[in-house]
Structure 1
Amino acid sequence: MIKFLSALIFSLLIPLSASAAEYSDGNGYTTIKTPVRTSDPNKIEVTEIFWYGCPHCYSLEPLVQAWKKDLPSDVDFKYLPAVFGRGWLAHAKAFYVADLLGMEDKIRADLFNAIHVERRNLNSEDALARFFADYGVNEDDFRKQYDSFAVNSRLSQADAKIRAYGARGVPGIIVNGKYLVSAESANGNENIFKVVDFLIEQERQK
């Protein structure tokens, strides 16, 4: 009987151990060599590095929005636009203009759709000014923000953070300034937030 109970307990522990070891550095995520300071040490920060023009970011967007709906109170979510290529700068500036105007959430889905569904060329200041005008933003006001000190400062800060993260592509999810999760590391977009949730729980336990 004792042998039977020992075997039973061991068999029950195996799935728990396997679950706990499901992800590790190099399997699901990459550990950032030097952790990057987060905005609020009392919260677990999750940051998406993205580009409006990226088809993979567009595909991930519904998953991001679904995950954000049940965001725990101890988790802080942020977006970080990347500038890894030609044409990316205009979109990064558009993000910060929208953010400063308090309308990024309002235009985010429409901007993604305009680029990926309607196939509109929104890679210039002029094109983006016309896009923002559809949301009641005066074109002159848009242009002032587009080249403002506030926008350029945020761009510099974002670039420094992305370099510190060691990210080289999008989309990428940073958990608490310590871990980078990508579709490649997680084996597909559909697994990204499984890994993110795993890392959030790991950070909670610390």
Structure 2
Amino acid sequence: MISFSKRLFLSCASIALAISLSGIAKAQGPKIEEGFDYRVMPVPQPVETKGKVEVIEFFWYGCPHCYDFEPELKAWLKRQPKDVSFRKVPVAFRDDFMPHSQLFYALEAIGKGDALNDKVMYAMHKENKRLMTENEIADWVASQGVDRNTFLAAYRSFAVISKARAARQMADAYRIDGVPTIVMQGRYVTSPSIAGTKAKSIVAMDFLEEKIRKNNYKQ
């Protein structure tokens, strides 16, 4: 017969094991599956930097889902190591959205992208600013303390217009049909709509990040 003390020990050990396994399962998070939580592009696109995990967010200033996803994306970026390379690419699904892509690259050109990108989205989604024309855009940028003429010179420049057009071509090459969309290593595609929720898409990004590292950053 097993003594009471031994039964108590075995019982405690079983509970401890159950808690331990539960903790492992929790740490591992939900299962991530190809075709459900992310897709693999049939033709991988070239990455800009070798030896890094390349992450691209295709977005549009006027997209409410992009605005809604921004806090989770920023939190994810804050905990990434130096081998993660991130950039945003504006998408213009229609010709009348091209001014927003020019706005993005013009702010980048004058060194105001980091300071004003969030404010652009806040203005559009919380203050009902449309910012669809050059004058509307320039007036708003000037209201943020930026010299209007300096901004317009960048906005109208060949370099900025070329980048906006290239971004549109890039979105076509990546077959982007909705935003926000995250593409990792020019190959793996996920988003809140693909994964089902914002939280699940972040878990998918973590999964893909480790997958890319284990594959030595290859595509």
Normalising by structure 2, report the TM-score: 0.82
Q: How many angstroms apart in 2 are the aligned matches of 1:45 and 1:125?
A: 32
Identity of aligned residues (%): 34
Of 73, 81, 106 in structure 2, the residue corresponding to residue 72 of structure 1 is 81
Q: Tell me the CA shift for residue 20 of structure 1.
A: 9.8
> Structure 2 vs 1, CA of residues 21 and 189 (structure 1 numbering), >3 Å: closer, same or farther?
closer
**Residue 126 (structure 1) aligned to one of 135, 155, 159:** 135
Gaps of 5+ in 1: 1-7
Task: Name the SS of the counterpart of 1:24 in structure 2.
Answer: coil
Match of 2:195 among 186, 195, 198: 186
Equivalent position of 1:175 in the other structure: 184
Write the distance in 2 (CA, Å) between the matches of 1:86 and 1:149: 17
Rounded to whole Å, the distance in 2 between the matches of 1:158 and 1:121 is 21
Instruction: Give the conservation status (yes or no) of the 8 Å contact 1:165–1:180.
Output: no
1:60 maps to which of 66, 69, 86: 69
Partner in structure 2 of residue 25 of structure 1:
34
Answer yes or no: is the 8 Å Cα contact 2:56–2:86 preserved in 1: yes
Contact 2:183 2:190 in 1 (8 A): yes
- For residue 149 of structure 1, the aligned residue among 123, 135, 158 is 158
Residue 162 (structure 1) aligned with residue 171 (structure 2): yes
Which of 44, 47, 52 is 2:56 aligned to? Answer: 47
Find the structure with the greater CA-based Rg.
2
**Deviation of residue 183 (structure 1)?**
1.6
Contact 2:110/2:154 (8 A) holds in 1: no
1:156 to partner: Cα distance = 2.6
SS of 2:61 mapped into structure 1: coil
Please say if 1:101 is aligned against 2:110.
yes
TM-score (norm 1): 0.86
Unaligned runs of 5+ in 2: 1-16
Q: Secondary structure at the match of 1:56?
A: helix
Whole-Å Cα distance in 2 between the matches of residues 63 and 185 of structure 1? 16
Q: Deviations over 1:154-185 (max 9, x none)?
A: 12321222112111111100111101112221
Q: Please, what is the CA RMSD of the aligned residues?
A: 2.0
* Number of residue-to-residue matches in the alignment: 192
